[in-house]
Structure 1
Amino acid sequence: MRQSCTAGTEPRFVPYDKSLPEQIAEAVRSRTTPLSQLLRLMTALDAQGGDEDLRLQLRARIGAPLGA
């Protein structure tokens, strides 16, 4: 039986009212942040010519084991 997918019609990106450093801090604290979101934050940070400390925090979080 064929099923139609209606979940894909909803927007996936919700703009934040928070600054990029606030978004990064929140994402680093949360263990449920998807890797794809962490990588998008890294790309946004690189585009802004961002802070090296924030870059290091994101890199550490991206490479952290799931149980950490």
Structure 2
Amino acid sequence: MADIDFPPDLLALERSAWTEIQAGELTVDTARAVQDGINAFAEQAKLPRLDVEMGLKKVVRHPAAEAA
């Protein structure tokens, strides 16, 4: 998962969702946009969707773990 090169737009979507989640304000539109982005990227990269989603969340929510 750490080797996935996520596109900037997908990272930005997940960062927006994470900010909304932390504020208790996640919208359906934001959640749907993230899932659509994950699905499209996974299909294009020929990677399992779950691996993409888990890797993306790890990069955005735990950046220190990726840097170590």
Specify which structure has the bigger relative contact order, considering alpha-carbon pairs within 8 angstroms and separated by 6 or more residues: 2
TM-score (norm 2): 0.35
Larger Rg: 1
